[in-house]
Amino acid sequence: MIALRHVVMRLTAGGRSITILDDLTLEIPSKQFVAVVGPSGSGKSTLLALIAGLDAPTAGTIALDGVDLGGLDEDALAGLRLEKIGVVFQAFHLIPTLTALENVAVPLELAGDPDPLGRARELLDEVDLAARADHYPVQLSGGEQQRVALARACARRPPLLLADEPTGNLDAATGAHVMALLRRMHRDYGSTLVLVTHDAGLAASADRIVTLRDGHIVSDTGGTGDG
Ligand code: ADP
Ligand code: MG
């Protein structure tokens, strides 16, 4: 479902050219749970942003279900994300003027769901935040905001979930909650899950573990697959 071919990502900073991803070729089949690991600065977040179409590579191609992202304009990419991709980043990107419930309802409304608020309420319940539905992001803790962001990302049961260290800033109990929902999406709805994590135990439970270093894939092995 995801095919990266000879992807290069290069940036110019302070007059110097930096290669962030260097000739990366990677294929991720539908429904696979892939953990992406590697030291800080190895290119993990950049890789997720490219797969989400939030950034374009300097060279190479990225295709989702056979559609080359390079051939799509911003509107088409936004449409594709709405239809197919749920993204959870470390920064939550919640809309500050909307309540938790309204934040979760946004993608449902955009997609013309017949009952966006009702469905959003169910999703908040799944992340144990029903009691916080009417709170604004500033009134929520970091862990609560992350769970709202996750409920929003999962709202349309996207076939592809991209999660960048979603448990990185959370205490163990909240992190377990977030992972439980991601695993449920993967298991029950067959979502492909690409998870960047520093947690070795979490990575080991994936179907596959891809390790990046300096913008290269240095290892690509099977996990236990019991995630
Ligand atoms: P990771 O998520 O594995 O920590 P990133 O993908 O965030 O790595 O970044 C990879 C490298 O690219 C890092 O060295 C980072 O400093 C650099 N980098 C990322 N984005 C930019 C940018 N916009 N400008 C300059 N350097 C960047
Ligand atoms: Mg990162």
Q: What is the CATH number of the domain that holds 40?
A: 3.40.50.300
Measuring from each residue's beta carbon to the nearest atom of ligand 1, which residues come in under 6 Å?
11, 13, 18, 20, 38, 40-46
Query: By residue range, what is the domain housing residue 124?
Result: 30-54+73-222
Q: How far is Cα 58 from Cα 79, in angstroms, rounded to an integer?
A: 23
Ligand 1 atom with least separation from CA of 39: 3
17 belongs to a structural domain: no
pLDDT, tens only, 69-123? 999 999 999 999 989 999 988 777 899 999 999 999 999 999 899 999 999 999 9
Residue 22 placed within a domain: no
What digits encode the pLDDT tens for the residues 160-207?
999 999 888 788 888 888 888 899 889 988 999 999 999 888 899 999
Total count of domains within the chain: 1
Alpha helix (H) residue ranges in the chain: 44-51, 74-84, 100-110, 116-126, 142-154, 172-189, 200-204
Which pTM does this prediction carry? 0.92
Whether residue 155 is contained in a domain is answered as yes
Instruction: Return the SS3 of 22.
Output: strand
Measured at the CA of 148, the angle between CA 134 and CA 77, to 5 degrees, comes to: 120
In a domain, residue 97? The reply is yes
Ligand 1 atom closest to the CA of 164, numbered from 1: 2
In a domain, 23, yes or no: no
Residue 114 included in any domain: yes
